[in-house]
Structure 1
């Protein structure tokens, strides 16, 4: 071996020797390395999510545009679908089963349409949340970004769809004699609270759906049961007037029923506070905060596991 080669070998050995015996974690700490895709702190995660706000908004708009791109009526299906559902429910529950229980047509039809539109907002957010991770694995595995961007974006997509549909809801209300007044201002806080609740629920379902993809097949049955128990087609206090009081209270205090009834209270003149549970605004805010914060933390805790396995 030449003298030059020998000197180079000695130099390399001297450089490597200090690291001998160190574990992988110790070496990473020594050289400032971190695990790729590791979960950041909660505060850092919120900052990263805020930095992607433009992506979240653009992604939700793109998904909304593409949703009906293959249909000839295009975005009109955003309104036609809930309206057709409302028409079917009116025929079955309003005419055949007489679930209106004494409500006039001028009240019951806006009551029913409002319930269908508002519950569809929650239902669509949940169903989109279930598939947010499992249905976008290519995106999740190819790019590094806070995974909460996906369920938040899908919930925002459903909010945009509801806002578009609200034009028809207003037309239905006015068409049956319920004209705009100061109570319509309450629509804004109701939508904000429901959006927070829906986003938290979408985050919870996104984590559950990422681990158990079959959940997407089960959720339609769960949502259908929730819809029938939330008073979409009937007024809970009227329909359950001859039942034990606790039964009506349980159904009225579920969040889907609360947001529907608050929207009806805002839009329909003859739907007064007597149809609402006590402390309804506190309940609406409580559900929104509980699910928004709880769902966000629950989703964040599994951040490093999404798209793996």
Structure 2
């Protein structure tokens, strides 16, 4: 019996690893790169700077559209924090008597509310910066950090509108215009850097877990009560002997309290340097650098993941 000739065996298919290596080599040979790959940090900064005009225009457009459906329009930018301040004055100043022993309590309160609202709104907007703009993220290629930064810039613009009303309140209650008002510029610059950094951290967390946006109002409300928005931290602790003295420097080092106190020191002549914590400007710079740089790097590390899944 003649043995049948067996057909030649087909070559074994390439393994997935070999196939991926071949594709990578082919892409490199023709100058192709991975779509959506994270750029280096210096390159990312350059891309972000190149889109600075988009960031400014986007923040202005969001600010204009925010109250476009309301009859009073942009007046709500000023009325909202003023109404909050009126409610806090009634509850805390009158009912709980936190105004006792605090000179110029109304300017003290309104300044605290305006500055706190800047931080609160920036962080809340940053939390939804990616998850609330998935259509934009998936449709266009741009550094995603532009979104939380633009939302913080929007809140800064809103604060500047409110500062006009704050200046009127200060003058009405007898607070004179002083050279120290110029200190508001570096204080707001540091606060904006801090807010943007925290907003980028929350944007990354919110992109992965959108439910964080539902939790943040409770976290921010607790933070507000610990930041001396409606009451003087130093005065309140001295009124209650049962509170430990070591609690004072902890509360004063709270970044929200630091920026609020700096603005009060800049704008209110009866708020003296003795009421500020030690090394307050160094503390303000430290918080701004820690949050700003750390938040930016933290956000950049997940750049290629935003809008996917």
Task: Name the TM-score, length of structure 1 as normaliser.
Answer: 0.92
Please say if 1:84 is aligned against 2:83. Answer: yes
Task: State the shift of 1:30 in Å.
Answer: 2.2
Task: State the shift of 1:275 in Å.
Answer: 1.1
For residue 220 of structure 1, what is the aligned residue in structure 2? 217
For residue 204 of structure 2, what is the aligned residue in structure 1? 207
Cα distance between partner residues in 2 of 1:164 and 1:201 = 23
Cα distance between partner residues in 2 of 1:246 and 1:207 = 34
For residue 3 of structure 2, what is the aligned residue in structure 1? none
Cα distance between partner residues in 1 of 2:22 and 2:211 = 40
Cα distance between partner residues in 1 of 2:22 and 2:198 = 41
For residue 38 of structure 2, what is the aligned residue in structure 1? 39
Alignment check: 8 A CA contact 2:47 2:143 kept: yes
Cα distance between partner residues in 2 of 1:129 and 1:40 = 22
Cα distance between partner residues in 2 of 1:184 and 1:54 = 29
Task: State the shift of 1:102 in Å.
Answer: 1.7
CA-to-aligned-CA distance 1:17-66 (integer Å, 9 cap, x gap) = xxx97522222222221100100000000000011001000000000000
Moved segments of 4+, more than 4 Å: none
Task: State the shift of 1:248 in Å.
Answer: 1.3
Alignment check: 8 A CA contact 2:102 2:232 kept: no
For residue 244 of structure 1, what is the aligned residue in structure 2? 244
CA-to-aligned-CA distance 1:267-292 (integer Å, 9 cap, x gap) = 11111011110000000011011111
Task: Report 1:107-122 matches (<5 A).
Answer: 107-122=104-119
Cα distance between partner residues in 2 of 1:258 and 1:172 = 22
Alignment check: 8 A CA contact 1:86 1:116 kept: yes
Cα distance between partner residues in 2 of 1:258 and 1:282 = 10
Alignment check: 8 A CA contact 1:193 1:288 kept: yes
Cα distance between partner residues in 2 of 1:170 and 1:66 = 26
Alignment check: 8 A CA contact 1:101 1:239 kept: no
Task: State the shift of 1:186 in Å.
Answer: 0.4
Cα distance between partner residues in 1 of 2:274 and 2:98 = 19
Cα distance between partner residues in 1 of 2:270 and 2:30 = 70
What RMSD, in angstroms, separates the aligned Cα atoms of the two structures? 1.1
Cα distance between partner residues in 2 of 1:197 and 1:180 = 27
For residue 10 of structure 1, what is the aligned residue in structure 2? none
For residue 47 of structure 2, what is the aligned residue in structure 1? 48
Please say if 1:130 is aligned against 2:133. Answer: no
For residue 72 of structure 1, what is the aligned residue in structure 2? 71
Cα distance between partner residues in 2 of 1:86 and 1:184 = 21
For residue 5 of structure 1, what is the aligned residue in structure 2? none
Task: Name the TM-score, length of structure 2 as normaliser.
Answer: 0.92
Task: Report 1:118-267 matches (<5 A).
Answer: 118-241=115-238, 242=241, 243-267=243-267
Cα distance between partner residues in 2 of 1:63 and 1:32 = 38
Cα distance between partner residues in 1 of 2:58 and 2:245 = 45
For residue 287 of structure 1, what is the aligned residue in structure 2? 287
Alignment check: 8 A CA contact 2:190 2:288 kept: yes
Alignment check: 8 A CA contact 1:200 1:294 kept: yes
Structure 1, unaligned stretches of length 5 or more? 1-19
